[in-house]
Amino acid sequence: MSNISVIGAGYVGLVTATGFAELGHSVKLLEISPSRVSALERNEIPIKEPGLPRLWQRNHSEGRITVTGNYIQGLLGSDFVFIAVGTPSTRNGKPDLKWVRAAARSIAEAASGPLIVALKSTVPVGTASLVADILARYRKNGHAYPVVSNPEFLREGAAVYDFFNPTRVVVGSSDHKAAEAVGKLYKPLGSPLVICDNKTAEMSKYASNVFLAARVSFMNEMAILCDEYDVDIVKVASIMGLDPRFGSGYLNAGLGWGGSCLPKDVRGLLYMAKSRGISLHIIRAVQRINQQQPYIVIRKLQRLLGSLEGKTVGILGLSFKPGSDDMREARSILVISRLEDEGCRIRAYDPAAMEGSARLLPRVVYCRDAYEVASGCDALVLVTEWDEFKELDMKKLAAMMKRPVFVDGRNVLQPDAMFEAGFVYEGIGRRGFGYKKLEGILPSRPRTGRNRAARRKTALAEEPTNR
């Protein structure tokens, strides 16, 4: 068993540290935020990750993991140190490496023995050599500190599962022995291990994340076409997903991708290209589609309700994805802000992210549950696909609303069942159901894709042929 230090008690660092402790290693977690350190000492987990509190408590109480803000203490006797600090975007999209630099400098100044430095944060190509330079510049002794790039592929909301079931472990280094030593730590997990150079490891993380973003943006663009032609994108996706060349993941059309990773990694890759004078046309389009995607909801609501001024809209789900309390670049922020600009009153509920949301969106009325949200609303919009929203009593929900309009921003509900429950239902790239219900309670009947297509067909038929 090894002595491992992990820097940064965020989604990645906290899960990695706890996971290594569970595998039997002796782990020290280093965190600069004193409130995070004291919360963890009290066995309070500062983030929402299924399974993490139980795992932390057990390993903490059995002494396999400790937490500290002191680098000398936190690195004492360690064989490995993993850097898992944040790398958010700066204004121009450049990944901000100030926390990585600070962590590297602190390691160099505090380490007293030989140490393998593993870089887990998502960083632009070339960062491992930057870290190696910092370590060499500030080290207080003659020890070598090989740097291994070990990008992290875990998903928030499933991070504990992903730690123990990684799809692949990537270790890149110019020091093969160091890469092998880091790879060996993951051996009990039995996943494929790829040993490569630092730059390949760094690029593989960006390519993987941006490819996921591209798949979703592709489906979102297809959804616009499906809406227009009255085709159900969910069925199209299920047919596509049967092709083993594609696989079925990340084919869901919806309100687009948010969170702390995909948006910043798309920006990071675009920045990397720009700094070498290269334009990435596909990736630029992937980003642009995603920027527009949340506003589809506004257009759908305008079509269904007429002017949004003075309307009350209920939002189900605020976090950027289910299973997480993370509000970073959540789609709910864009949807709600735009609806507020249009003059709407917003009521909302999320099982985990209400506190974080209240700091960002203070004008929203936060409710105890989905039923309280629905009460008196002109429309409901499902923004985050928490499981509990799939279990709602839809009849009860529809009956509580002023107008039974439901826009499913994640295509997770069954259109037929929603229609049966009394809703006018629309997904994203999914046929609308139940427009008849709006007759008499709206100024005019909403235009469907089919209506538009029919109008265009008529217009074409009326075009003179003897030009």
The binding site for ligand NAD (CB under 6 A) comprises 7-13, 30-33, 36, 84-87, 99, 102-103, 106, 121-122, 152, 154, 156, 260-261
Token pair belonging to 374: 């629905």
Minimum gap (Å) between residue 26 Cβ and ligand NAD: 19
Minimum gap (Å) between residue 224 Cβ and ligand NAD: 28
Minimum gap (Å) between residue 110 Cβ and ligand NAD: 11
Q: Which residue numbers are catalytic?
A: 261
Show the CA angle centred on residue 263, arms to residues 7 and 154, nearest 5°.
45
In angstroms, the CA 219 to CA 226 distance is 10
Token pair belonging to 231: 């085709």
Instruction: Report the residue closest to ligand NAD, judged by CB.
Output: 10
Residue 87 CB contacts under 8 Å (≥ 6 apart), including other chains: 95, 96, 97, 99, 100, 121, 122, 123, 264, 268
Site of tokens 């790879």: 183
Burial letters 405-423, b for 16+ CB under 10 A, else e = bbbbbbbbbebeebbebbb
Minimum gap (Å) between residue 448 Cβ and ligand NAD: 38
> Is 137 or 390 the residue whose CB approaches ligand NAD more closely?
137
In angstroms, the CA 467 to CA 455 distance is 22
In angstroms, the CA 263 to CA 385 distance is 19
> Is 88 or 306 the residue whose CB approaches ligand NAD more closely?
88
> Is 260 or 290 the residue whose CB approaches ligand NAD more closely?
260
Sheet holding 424-426: strands in order across? 365-366, 345-349, 312-316, 379-382, 405-408, 424-426
* Cβ proximity of 210 and 266 under 8 Å: yes
Minimum gap (Å) between residue 76 Cβ and ligand NAD: 16
> Is 91 or 245 the residue whose CB approaches ligand NAD more closely?
91
> Is 67 or 374 the residue whose CB approaches ligand NAD more closely?
67
Site of tokens 């994340």: 209
